[in-house]
Homo-oligomer: A and B are copies of this chain.
Amino acid sequence: MMDAARERDRADPLREYRDRFALPDGVIYLDGNSLGALPKATAERMAGVVRGEWGEGLIRSWNPGENGGADWIGLPRRVGGRIARLVGAAPDTVVAADSTSVNLFKLIAAALAMRPGRKVVLSEPGNFPTDLYMIAGLEAQGLAERRLAPRDRLADALDGDVALLLLTHVHYKTGEVFDMAALTRAAHDAGALVLWDLSHSAGAIPVGLDASGADFAVGCGYKYLNGGPGAPAFAYVAQRHHAALEQPLTGWMGHAAPFAFSDDYAPAPGVGRLLCGTPPVLALAALEVGVDLVAEIGIDRLAAKSRALSEFFRDCLDGLGVALELASPADPMQRGSQLSFRHRQAYAICQALIARGVIGDFRDPDILRFGFAPAYVSFEDAARAARHLAEVLETGEWQREEFRERAAVT
């Protein structure tokens, strides 16, 4: 098993990229789907932004320019444009700003405003909680009505009251991938708009936002884009909606002329009107490095290696005689960059693995989740992780008291 793993690593066209990340000794990191690892270049870039752009440049760094201006004001559009290429979108259709949650609010509200007379926002139970909660926020305002239907009943639930279909492209628990083009078409046929949450897709698998006809999308900067803990998120609006787009978080950075300091709001042209407050410069600079590294490696190569890794991990488990219930689709083309298993003791098993230096994660109530971020996870990592998992189950060490106590963040 180990020999096979090393053989695969030697043949891996992405093997050189592992060294571009700062990975701790003694850790096998299978949680890049929750927090991407640190690109080494980010540490340098952050030092430069802090000491150079902020410390030396001070307020002058907001402007672009020959005199060393760092163009902070351009960061949300610039980083957005780079993310756009990773999700199949035209460059001027994406901004990097705020959190995924806040961007969901903007775009759910924008969709409702575009479909007067319709109030239903349709999603599935078990979608990532913040997606469901942000609909609830608009529901409490009296502006939306939340409707949940299981995946196999979504088509039936798409009636004439639905303003927006809001789905997460790759499910956070199972990794199952929705057919973006087909569901977008179904929603459009019902007169509804579609908003895709790409938090577990962007940087992991190819996404064709423009090609699928999607209306809106949001996504996370701190998972496969390696933007750092709590990195800014992104938001996409299809070009055809730019002129009509109205969103309620009408902050000064989304104004057509923020520095005219007018009393009255006038939206910036295009996707710029999605901006709200002052851009989080330090965080955007870190995100930019992560996004650039993903772009350099290339989404197709990342997706191919990720599938190979997760299949290899399953083969290793089979070889070790580990029979766990797979919660992810068995077909690697039907899942994102993760493998999830169901086990009643998932939490304790996860903790026992962490104690051995194998970091995956647990999702309530019974999901044991392993992410195979292909930019820095090796086949040897996968083989070793499989062996640790086999040993944890075999020895029953997960039964120890210390592995049952729930942490604040799981």
Chain A residues close to B by CB (< 8 Å): 22-24, 27, 29, 31, 34-35, 37-38, 42-43, 46-47, 50-51, 53-65, 72-74, 98-102, 105, 109, 113, 125-130, 132-134, 136-138, 140-141, 143, 148, 222, 228-233, 246-253, 255, 258-265, 276-284, 286, 354, 359, 361, 363-364, 407-410
| A24 B58 Cβ-Cβ under 8 A | yes
| B261 A109 Cβ-Cβ under 8 A | no
| A58 B43 Cβ-Cβ under 8 A | no
- Work out how many copies of this chain go into the complex: 2
Q: Which of A74, A229, A232, A283 has the most CB of B within 10 A?
A: A229
CB within 8 Å for A407 and B63 given contacts A248-B140, A264-B136, A283-B283: yes
A265 partner residues in chain B, CB cutoff 8 A:
132-133, 136-137
CB within 8 Å for A50 and B42 given contacts A24-B55, A100-B277, A140-B246: yes
| B50 A38 Cβ-Cβ under 8 A | yes
Select one of B53, B129, B263 contacting A126, CB under 8 A.
B263
A230 partner residues in chain B, CB cutoff 8 A:
72, 277-284
Return A254 CB to nearest CB of chain B, in Å: 8
A276 to B140 alpha-carbon distance, docked (Å) = 15
CB within 8 Å for A102 and B251 given contacts A35-B58, A282-B228: yes
A249 to B361 alpha-carbon distance, docked (Å) = 27
A148 partner residues in chain B, CB cutoff 8 A:
263
